[in-house]
Structure 1
């Protein structure tokens, strides 16, 4: 299990030749709460974004991500856009999390996901900077896939 904040900025390497393809800038998430792919940034001056399907990732390491794909990555603008991303288009970051019982849980700050399954298994929420300092971060474990709407994310949860 890993958080998006730990994944963001990691280099993506091609297994066949060790070339760095780019670095992770976002998660592509379906309406069912599954992580479908990664948004990878390539280039130094002219930055282009590419879509790497999650099933094309061979391994997630602490210092990099390995894939057999390289030049055949789809350009982000050519790709049919995912329903959601974490922080780019149709962003989930900062959305209100509400429990199925109607309780406000806070604003989404980060997600925990299982690399093997590609599913979101937990949510890190915040009520603001001062609450984090006094109470620490709050992690919400997901019982089932979320219902994602334009105003809120509805989750069936266990609060830690």
Structure 2
């Protein structure tokens, strides 16, 4: 299991050549809450954004992400359904339970790297609340309903 905050900014390497391809820029998240792939920034002066489907990632390490071949990079010709920090941003959206309770604002996601399934959401109630109480993690049992205003999750009872 991995969080986006641990992936953000990690270099992406091609296993065939050892070449650094770029770095992780964001996540491509489908409308049903599945991480489809990684958004990769490539280049120094003229940066371009590409996507790598989650199934084309060979491994997620602590210090880098490995792909077999840079041919799996796909140019983004259309905006992704959702991302965490850029276009169609999910970070900062209100998270509500399917029972109608406000849980807080989305800060980060926990997902299974191999398949892209989001299994938890890191929630914040604001800066001062984070200092006094800390951030919370909400575990889910089903894909969320992502709307214009809120993300509705089916909360796993502990």
**What TM-score do you get using the length of structure 2 for normalisation?**
0.95
Q: Deviations over 1:86-142 (max 9, x none)?
A: 111111111000000000000000000011221100000111000000001100001
| CA pair 138-159 structure 1, distance change in 2 beyond 3 A | farther
Give the whole-Å Cα distance in 2 for the aligned partners of 1:71 and 1:107: 37
Give the whole-Å Cα distance in 1 for the aligned partners of 2:94 and 2:138: 13
C-alpha root-mean-square deviation of aligned residues, in Å?
1.3
The gaps in structure 2 that reach 5 residues or longer are none
Counterpart position of 1:111:
109
Give the whole-Å Cα distance in 2 for the aligned partners of 1:109 and 1:159: 21
Higher strand share: 1
Residue of structure 1 aligned with 2:82, choices 81, 84, 87: 84
How far is 1:158 from its partner? 3.2
Give the whole-Å Cα distance in 2 for the aligned partners of 1:62 and 1:103: 35
CA contact 1:139–1:159 (8 Å) conserved in 2? no
Matched, 1:138 2:136: yes
CA contact 1:36–1:54 (8 Å) conserved in 2? yes
Give the whole-Å Cα distance in 2 for the aligned partners of 1:46 and 1:159: 48
Matched, 1:6 2:6: yes
> How many residue pairs were aligned?
158
Give the whole-Å Cα distance in 1 for the aligned partners of 2:131 and 2:10: 27
| CA pair 140-159 structure 1, distance change in 2 beyond 3 A | farther
Write out the 4+ residue segments of structure 1 that deviate beyond 3 Å after TM superposition: none
| CA pair 63-141 structure 1, distance change in 2 beyond 3 A | same
